[in-house]
Amino acid sequence: QKEVEQNSGPLSVPEGAIASLNCTYSDRGSQSFFWYRQYSGKSPELIMFIYSNGDKEDGRFTAQLNKASQYVSLLIRDSQPSDSATYLCAVFPSGTYKYIFGTGTRLKVLA
Amino acid sequence: DAGVIQSPRHEVTEMGQEVTLRCKPISGHDYLFWYRQTMMRGLELLIYFNNNVPIDDSGMPEDRFSAKMPNASFSTLKIQPSEPRDSAVYFCASSPRGRWTDTQYFGPGTRLTVL
């Protein structure tokens, strides 16, 4: 069973702080990793993806991948109340063309 | 370009009735996915198509569910007969090609309530 695990939260951070969201996966052969944001009552939308070990930055967002530890994270710098949402980690396992989604972490940024 | 289009946006029906959900993928996208999202189980893949052909339906919960893609611009997900436990948000998503760097683009979803 190829699984993706996330802490459901809620993760509460004050405005301006760094929010750190974590995701672990079971399939060591997984190739790519996606972070989606989902506002309440809306559909998931892509924030960024990563497929090489290390960090990838896009504006206030940084994705970090450690394949040896089977761990991917998303850092949000200077968190804003508008970042309050559920963040879904999706993994592209080996040998298939379909994402496996985690159950998501709910982030609350407190003004 | 228009995104993924789904209809209806909300559906309320009674147990035992047939429900049909519709999806129009982004033009030029070869892959189409149907997901179901609930609080308890999160986002689950039901089935996906490549060039209108069903590739993996292992997520379809039971025979009451069926999906078709008669052409590149239209897909349906049908539940017959519907049951209260089918209540969920159903998303359709599409992506361009069969590469592992591809983003999936989600439609707005259909919120289904079965009474």
Q: Which of A88, A2, A33, A89 is nearest to B58 (CA)?
A: A2
Q: Say yes or no: B58 contacts chain A, CB-CB below 8 A.
A: no
Rounded Cα gap, residues B38 and B15, in angstroms: 18
The ranges of chain A with pLDDT < 50 are: none
Which chain B residues touch A43 with a CB distance below 8 Å?
91, 106-109
Ramachandran bin of A59, using left for φ above 0, alpha for ψ from -120 to 50, beta for the remaining angles = left
Q: Residue B100 above 80 pLDDT?
A: no
Q: Which of B51, B50, B45 is nearest to B65 (CA)?
A: B45
Q: What is the pLDDT of residue B45?
A: 94
Q: Burial level of B113, CB count in 10 A (0-12/13-18/19+)?
A: middle
Interface contact A43-B43, CB threshold 8 A: no
CA A107 to chain B, closest CA, distance in angstroms equals 16
DSSP string, B19-37: EEEEEEPPTT--EEEEEEE
User: What is Dmax (Cα atoms) for chain B?
Assistant: 41
Q: Burial level of B22, CB count in 10 A (0-12/13-18/19+)?
A: middle
Interface contact A97-B100, CB threshold 8 A: yes
> Which whole number is the average pLDDT over B47-53?
95
Q: What is the pLDDT of residue B1?
A: 63
CA A31 to chain B, closest CA, distance in angstroms equals 7
Q: What is the pLDDT of residue B38?
A: 93
Mean pLDDT of chain B: 94
